[in-house]
Amino acid sequence: MPSFFEIEKTCPITGARAGKIHTEHGIIETPIFMPVATKGSVRGVDWRTISELQAQIVLANTYHLTIRPGEASIERAGGLQEWSKWTGPFLTDSGGFQVFSFARRGQAKIDDQGVSFKDDLEGKIHFIGPNESMNIQKRLGADIVMAFDECPAGNADRKTVETAVRRTRDWAEKCTNFPLQKHQNLFLIVQGGKFEDLREKSLEEITKLDAKGYALGGVSVGESREEVEKVISNMTKKLPINKPRYIMGIGMPRDLIVGVLSGADMFDCVLPTRIARHGGYFSEGLRFKSVSQKDFSDDHDNPLVIGCQCPTCKTFTRAYLKHLFLRKEITVYYYLAVHNLFRLLNLTFDMRKAIFNDCFPQFLKKNLYLLS
């Protein structure tokens, strides 16, 4: 049996790395971007397309799935794969980010045991702590399970972040001791906000606990771009070298490049599908643009991005996509989402290839405009 994670190649100049994660439902080649299937489906995109885009793992949201349809229903169906018909690996988050967002709006109560909150569908009162989160994720049956942590807002004061770091450590211990299914793999999460010493403290405490992988949480939750990149650059390389490194919740092309440059292996974000629903897409150089902008019909017979090999760009013109968006035809959201997912997935594929071909520094030089 191969080990859970193997490093296949490391760039000797930058430390960027390519590897493989072995799960019961398939191998994940890293670095990799994970499309978000919040409620058990990638918003507006079918599984056949997700497979054709060569996505190797998707992320589902524990909070949303426990509220509806409930983990018992999914467990009876045979777990996430049987229920959703996505046959590849699943990662589930802990639900912490969602329930703590309720707390920031005054709709939840946090203590050292967990969070009591009122759901946003039926107004029922629920409680989730580390054991509850682990039990839900165990029943969902995901291949990778995230520990329950406290994610403070990006502008949280030091005292609030100190409390979050302490709770994250205490809850990580409980999550580590919780018996999951045999095929499941627990990842622990480092918190600390924008305070470098608290990040260091959290990292030291969390990495003392044995887990299959480690993640940086609380990144891109309201901080400035400079603060986000500082955390990614300083902390990622300090995570255990022999375990997968996951930066949670980032999806801008620049963030992925900075992450891989810093030694990260996994990324996720709702950004590709969310901006698609507002007419947004990644243009030449992977910059953000919108089909609704006034000059969008320039070169209207061309695709969104000349030379892009995604199904959308190989089929449709800019003018047609703008027409669909302005007329609010729902198919355009699918076409734009496919394009955006293709661009981010292929960015990670290109970086993996560059690492294997010993030309990652050249890749960086060629794509410096993404880092500007």
* DSSP H or E stretch at residue 172: helix 158-177
* pLDDT at residue 295 in the model: 64
What is the residue-averaged pLDDT of the chain?
94
Contact criterion met (CB below 8 Å) for 140 and 62: yes
* pLDDT at residue 243 in the model: 98
The C-alpha atoms of residue 9 and residue 31 are separated, in whole angstroms, by: 11
Residues labelled as active-site residues: 93, 268
* Residue 270 vs residue 222, higher pLDDT: 270
* pLDDT at residue 120 in the model: 79
CB within 8 A of 280, min separation 6: which ones? 288, 289, 290, 291, 336, 340
* pLDDT at residue 299 in the model: 62
* pLDDT at residue 118 in the model: 85
The C-alpha atoms of residue 262 and residue 236 are separated, in whole angstroms, by: 6
* Pairing mode of beta strands 185-190, 144-146: parallel
The C-alpha atoms of residue 143 and residue 23 are separated, in whole angstroms, by: 6
What digits encode the pLDDT tens for the residues 179-211?
999 999 999 999 999 999 999 999 999 999 999
What digits encode the pLDDT tens for the residues 86-142?
999 999 999 878 877 777 777 888 899 999 988 878 888 899 999 999 999 999 999
The percent helix, strand, coil of the chain (3-state, each to 5) is 40, 20, 40
The C-alpha atoms of residue 201 and residue 236 are separated, in whole angstroms, by: 14
| CA dihedral of residues 109, 110, 111, 114 (deg, nearest 10) | 110
Owner of token pair 């699918």: 334
22: left (phi over 0), alpha (psi -120 to 50) or beta: beta
237: left (phi over 0), alpha (psi -120 to 50) or beta: alpha
- Residue 215's DSSP bridge partners are 189, 246
**pTM (2 d.p.):** 0.96
The C-alpha atoms of residue 115 and residue 273 are separated, in whole angstroms, by: 29
The C-alpha atoms of residue 49 and residue 45 are separated, in whole angstroms, by: 7
Alpha carbon 28 to its chain's center? 14
The answer on pLDDT for 372 being more than 80 is no
Give me the half-sphere count of Cα atoms (radius 13 Å) on the Cβ side of residue 368: 4
Residue 146 to residues 65, 92, 95, 175, 272, Cα–Cα distance (Å): 15, 6, 9, 9, 22
CATH 3.30.70.20 fits 5-270, yes or no: no
pLDDT average, residue stretch 13-42: 98
What digits encode the pLDDT tens for the residues 231-240?
999 999 999 9
